[in-house]
Chain A
């Protein structure tokens, strides 16, 4: 996206911030894919910022807990949030669209990556999105999605269901999304 007026303020530019914009880092995923990213975008992750500050990054930062597909998504997020002149409203809209198309499995991968890389904004957004998807779902859907086997006896389950029967009203049908 070409953007005029990259720096509308123009004055009082912090030279350190300017340097971060031009410096690039290389992030390496668990499956060996390498991604280039500007330092200013990368340090939105507190974990990466710490690695850069401790100077233990070297040339390439290995991220053994994040696979390539997930890392690509996380980098898209970081680049948008590091973009000059992107308004809060624009970022909010981007966040909304960013998570809206993701299936549950992808949301889980991204939330784990955001947690590991300590990216607060992304973590908040994805957590909220997972909760929104779960809200009206059935117990069976949750078990299937979280890969959980019930350890209740049918009697115990029936008893609990009876206690809060009204909480079972208005539940969505189990369609995957």
Chain B
């Protein structure tokens, strides 16, 4: 046996960086203490983006965050991690409770509810009525608060590659003037509103907005594209950074994806299991590693939808309401 353990270990920077990108955020926050060289490496934007890619993708892991937020007094969020195998058949769940960083968690009689959430690169944005916006990275526990919103419907959050900035977008309905909307954007980098546009429209925005490919997208009631009619309710969703449209036609949900300015139909889900729920109750979460299955949340449960077999498999996770996909990430706030 050679005594390799007493030899000096010097991994080339690239190799060391590759190894470290496969560690969970918790370990990396601790290992910032190893040396000045390590803290500098772990803090570089290049390392942060490689980690985001390597840790979630290569580890075949999908993190799901579930928020339960009722009162200030009971402002806990449940952070559940699902570890999935490559085919998406098996999983183990691990739950960890985290406190949602509200602006003023003091008054226990005040009821708070989350009007909507947006996630991007491990950051979670919460919009609440009459409350400052919350930007939160649950992996690092870092958070920031934004402005109080005039209107907390039809909001969205995402990354804008053009300005390399995270943006929050909202659409405000100006009450005295019929069909007049103001769309506004908030920049996380500058910590201020950075864009405003007023326009008139005779239709109404529905659901959450999505920021992708350097643009913000809203679905409008009257702008239903393709073969669908205004009677078919629809809304936008996002799957692996691609914009999707969910259309409800009777008992069926059609999922379309937009790629390079073209829309194509991905699959249809038969909704016969629970006919009373609307489009809003189905949420696209993630692809399985082989791309043949899609993880969706529907009727308070998580399911794998097999695109070829056209079958739904329920995953037995207790209380799967309000699930959102959220990667583990070092993205700073």
Contact = CB atoms under 8 A, between A and B. Distances in A.
Given A108-B11, A127-B19, A139 B33 contact: yes
Contact of B9 (A108, A127, A151, A171): A108
A105 B4 contact: yes
Interface in A98-143: 103-106, 108-109, 111-112, 115, 127-128, 130-131, 134-139, 142-143
Contacts of A139: 30-31, 33-34
A127 B23 CA distance: 10
B292 interface: no
Interface residue tally on B, bucketed by range: 35 or more
Contact of B7 (A105, A115, A130, A148): A105
B32 A160 contact: yes
A67 interface: yes
A164 B29 contact: yes
A119 B313 CA distance: 38
The interface centre, meaning the residue of B35, B37, B141 with most chain A CB atoms within 10 A of its CB, is: B35
Given A112-B11, A150-B35, A166-B141, A134 B27 contact: yes
The interface centre, meaning the residue of B22, B36, B140 with most chain A CB atoms within 10 A of its CB, is: B22
A145 B11 CA distance: 12
A70 B12 CA distance: 18
A161 interface: yes
Nearest to B20: A131
Contacts of A136: 27
A146 interface: yes
A147 B8 contact: yes
A135 B22 CA distance: 9
A69 interface: yes
A14 interface: no
B30 A127 contact: no
B30 A167 contact: yes
Contacts of B310: none
A149 B9 contact: no
A157 interface: yes
A168 B151 CA distance: 41
A127 B22 contact: yes
Given A136-B27, A145-B9, A161 B20 contact: no
Closest 3 CB pairs of A and B: A105-B5, A131-B22, A105-B4
28 contacts: A67-B2, A69-B1, A69-B2, A70-B4, A103-B4, A103-B5, A105-B3, A105-B5, A105-B7, A106-B4, A108-B11, A111-B11, A112-B11, A127-B15, A128-B22, A130-B19, A131-B22, A134-B19, A135-B24, A138-B30, A146-B34, A147-B10, A148-B38, A150-B33, A152-B33, A152-B35, A164-B32, A167-B29
Interface of A: 67, 69-70, 103-106, 108-109, 111-112, 115, 127-128, 130-131, 134-139, 142-143, 145-152, 157, 160-161, 164, 166-168, 171
Given A69-B2, A136-B27, A143-B35, 9 more contacts: A127-B22, A134-B19, A135-B24, A137-B27, A139-B34, A146-B11, A150-B34, A151-B36, A152-B36
